[in-house]
Amino acid sequence: MDIGQLFHNLFFDYTLRTVALGAALLGVVSGALGAFAVLRRQSLLGDAISHAALPGIVIAFLLTRSREPVVFLLGALAAGWAATLSIAAITRTTRIKDDSALGLVLSIFFGFGLMLLTFAQKLSDARQAGLDKFLFGQAATLLQSDVVAMAAVGALALGTTLLFWKEFKLLTFDADYAASLGYPVRTLDVLLTTLLVVAIVIGLQTVGVVLMSAMLVAPAAAARQWTNRLETMVGLSGLFGALAGVSGALISSAMEKTPTGPVIVLCISALVLVSLLFAPARGIVWRWLRNLRNRRRVRTAHLRP
Amino acid sequence: MTTTAVEVRDLTVAYKDKPVLWSVDMQAPSGALMAIVGPNGAGKTTLIKAILGLVRPLAGQALIYGKPYSKQRHLVAYVPQRSSVDWDFPTSVLDVVMMGRYGALGWLKRPGSAERRAALDALDKVGMVDFAERQIGQLSGGQQQRVFLARALVQNAEVYLMDEPFQGVDATTERAIVRLLQELRSQGKTVLVVHHDLQTVPEYFDWVMMLNVRRIACGPVSEVFTEQSLRATYGGKIAFLNGDGVGEIQDGYRTALSQPVL
């Protein structure tokens, strides 16, 4: 398929248009909220939440026997929330440190989810429900109505972030200081983490529980390379996420039997690589060249008395 | 008799089952420039955090001008330890200083030109106005400390609580901080400073709180900063040479008592 045809399809082919739009949406929301997660050193929390969503999805199906994505996503939301609360409860009440708590919750929830999934697959109506698609995501299952729902929820999440921008910025930079000024940091923390869960849930159908955390961490890591301002970083991070989403959708539609989710993740990884190497101030290549130049200058200065 | 700016009554704080502060009393009169000294793990930072309501005490209370902190927030500015934040955070010096106005701004309101002016004013006072647009990660340790001080200054408070502002700073910054402390005192503000360098206590401060889980002594430096109370605070870990000699505290802090101790 040539490029012109591909772009024609992007706008006029129902499936590709829906998938690309959905991938762009998930990229924007997870990119923007992922930036906060990365700055708060919560990258692993995103990973734990997305893996923990699996049992939520299966339980939601077992309870309702519905195939509506909205039902699955509500289950994912509840499970993601439960995982977050468990991590907080473990670190607060035991001597287990937060990284171990994250690991514990991730593996317990995910293991439980896999077990439930195996059980549910044996039921006749479950195979058609496509539960296993949530492992690695399947963008082709996206319907226009799903995308509309994603857009509405995503807009709500991004709107909330903008509304509490000042508060989230302060919380992320210096939570103790925020508390000393009288801001309820626990509540703000729960709110921001809830938005993170929402961002994850939006992407699950397309990217899947296993790879979803890449969509939180990678755009933010790439964006941080290009700017020293939070506003720009969050914006760029969303843009990178959307870019990866659309290019992933295009590439996987051009090649047969290529799953969309992993291709999206590969696209964002390429963006990270380019940013790590070539971003102006922080790029490895430029730093290396600067060092080389400095060393040469010092050497010639030594030669001339 | 002057009024008491900061009063701590019977304060007990424990992390898990280990007591960090045990029935501590403290009074800082209005206008005092007070050092809080004590060995590592004495509870100095915890005392500050308990006054600010950042840690929940098992017993006791802290009052600012006779009322709980939650009612007197607008009177208090906090300077946390420099190492408590990630200085690679993507923001500028000016942005960090403007955070000092967030409490007065309240929910949802964005900082504007008035906040910007106040921040630049405060940066001028700490000699950092030329760095306003810098990314905070590009600053030296001393410059970062001065940014934190400027952030507290824009709060326009009556009581300042500073956690180790002298920790690992260069000579320029140390002089700038001392000048600032004296200026605050001349304006009648009350300043509490967690401090490590015993040598400079008599020079920089007029009040001192000596702490080692329990309160050892609290009062004017000239009255309570004695060899006896230092021994009680640092246990056997302090060595004295009388006169201008150098004393050593074995947990790694070198200190010299430049003044003959009473």
Contact of A216 with A210, CB cutoff 8 Å: no
CB contact under 8 A, B78 and A163: no
What's the mean pLDDT in B134-153?
A: 92
Q: Which two tokens stand for residue B128?
A: 């950092």
Question: Looking at the predicted structure, is the pLDDT value of residue B249 above 60?
Answer: no
Reference B27, options B10, B52, B42; nearest CA is B10
Exposure of B45 in the CB half-sphere (CA atoms within 13 A): 15
Q: Does B236 touch chain A (CB under 8 A)?
A: no
Residue of B16, B102, B108 with shortest CB distance to A170? B102
In the DSSP assignment, the letter for residue B135 is B
pLDDT in tens, A30-50: 999 999 999 998 888 999 999
Phi first, then psi: give them for residue B82, nearest 5 degrees.
-60, -35
Question: Looking at the predicted structure, is the pLDDT value of residue A172 above 80?
Answer: yes
CB contact under 8 A, A179 and B52: yes
Q: Which two tokens stand for residue B205?
A: 């401060």
Which segments of B100-241 does DSSP mark as H helices, in order?
Answer: 102-105, 113-125, 141-153, 171-186, 201-204, 221-224, 227-234
What's the mean pLDDT in B201-221?
A: 89
What's the mean pLDDT in A97-109?
A: 92
Long-range Cβ contact pairs of B233-238 (< 8 A, separation 24 or more): B233/B37, B233/B38, B233/B39, B233/B42, B234/B38, B234/B39, B235/B39, B237/B39
CB contact under 8 A, B70 and A181: no
Which of B15, B16, B18, B54 is the best mutation test for A, with the most CBs of A within 10 A?
B54
CA A291 to chain CA centroid, Å, is 35
Mean pLDDT, chain A, whole residue set: 89
Q: Residue B147 carries which side chain, given as an amino acid letter?
A: V
pLDDT band with cut points at 50, 70 and 90 for residue A126: low
* Residue that has been written with the tokens 């309101």 in this structure: B109
Give the Cα separation of B150 and B160 in Å (integer): 12
Instruction: Calculate what percentage of chain B has a pLDDT beyond 70.
Output: 89
pLDDT of A277:
92
> For chain B, how long is the longest CA-to-CA vector?
59
Reference B72, options B41, B97, B103, B105; nearest CA is B103
Phi first, then psi: give them for residue B28, nearest 5 degrees.
-115, 115
pLDDT band with cut points at 50, 70 and 90 for residue B240: low
* Residue that has been written with the tokens 């009322």 in this structure: B67
What's the mean pLDDT in A13-20?
A: 85
Q: Which residues of A touch B105 (CB under 8 A)?
A: 166
Question: Looking at the predicted structure, is the pLDDT value of residue A25 above 90?
Answer: yes
Q: What does chain B come to in residues?
A: 262
What's the mean pLDDT in B27-31?
A: 90
The model carries a pTM of 0.87
Top-confidence residue, A3 or A115: A115
pLDDT band with cut points at 50, 70 and 90 for residue B244: very low
Q: Which two tokens stand for residue B194?
A: 């967690």
What's the mean pLDDT in B142-164?
A: 93
pLDDT of B239:
59
Neighbouring CB atoms inside 10 A of B137's CB total 13
Question: Looking at the predicted structure, is the pLDDT value of residue B170 above 80?
Answer: yes
In chain B, count of helices (H) and strands (E)? Answer: 10, 12
Reference B144, options B197, B202, B80, B53; nearest CA is B80
Q: Which residues of A touch B78 (CB under 8 A)?
A: 176-177, 180
Top-confidence residue, A8 or A90: A90
pLDDT of A236:
96
pLDDT in tens, B69-117: 888 888 999 999 999 999 999 999 999 999 999 988 888 888 888 889 9
Residues B194, B198, B203: CA angle, nearest 5 degrees: 90
Mean pLDDT, chain B, whole residue set: 85
Q: Does A174 touch chain B (CB under 8 A)?
A: yes
CB contact under 8 A, B91 and A229: yes
Q: Which residues of A touch B89 (CB under 8 A)?
A: 39, 172-173, 230
pLDDT in tens, A237-283: 999 999 999 999 889 888 877 788 889 999 999 999 999 998 888 88
Give the Cα separation of B44 and B46 in Å (integer): 5
The CA-atom distances, in angstroms, between A234 and each of A37, A96, A227, A290, B108 are 11, 32, 10, 28, 19
Question: Looking at the predicted structure, is the pLDDT value of residue B242 above 60?
Answer: no
pLDDT of B38:
87
Reference A198, options A66, A62, A25; nearest CA is A25
Give contacts of A 12-51 with B, CB under 8 A: 39, 41
* SS3 call for B139: coil
pLDDT of B225:
86
DSSP annotation string for A135-172: HH--GGG--HHHHHHHHHHHHHHHHHHHHTHHHHHHHH
Q: Which residues of B touch A176 (CB under 8 A)?
A: 49, 54, 78, 80, 84
pLDDT band with cut points at 50, 70 and 90 for residue B232: confident
